[in-house]
Amino acid sequence: MKKILVLNGPNLNTLGRREPEIYGTLTLDEINNSLKQRATSMGLMLDFHQSNHEGDLVDRIQRLDGDFDGAVLNAGAYTHTSLAIRDAVLASSVPVVEVHLTDPASRECFRRRSYLSGAAKGVVSGFGARSYELALYWFAVS
């Protein structure tokens, strides 16, 4: 059974109450619980981590090797600013799939650039909470 880390960045702990017209009404706990149920049917085991701190996210990515078979990463705003997270993904031998609830290409100009996309195995965006499920599906079939 593959073990996958679902890693969420800044402000994702406020899902459900933060701009629900953009990000939806599901909380991060609700998304994680749904993913946990879905993962079982896919033959995946999940672990979850959320942090508002860039260095903590870097530390978790650096510890992927040997502990996990892959990671689903929603780096939040760090997607558009963090070379440190990009470098950690590049240094890892574990595949990372970048996810977004919304489609950054259809948002403000500053959200259209991802420092992570070139380092990630793939990107899933714009499908709300289902973006996470689609990323998990890739791990299940690969």
Q: Which residues are catalytic?
A: 23, 100
Q: Are 58 and 91 in contact, with CB atoms under 8 Å apart?
A: no
Euclidean distance between CA atoms 56 and 65, whole angstroms: 16
Q: Which of 50, 18, 39 is nearest to 138 (CA)?
A: 39
Helix (H) / strand (E) containing 27: none
* Measured torsion, CA atoms of residues 11, 79, 104, 14, in degrees rounded to the nearest 10: -10
Which residue spans within the chain are E strands per DSSP?
A: 2-8, 44-50, 70-74, 96-100, 122-125
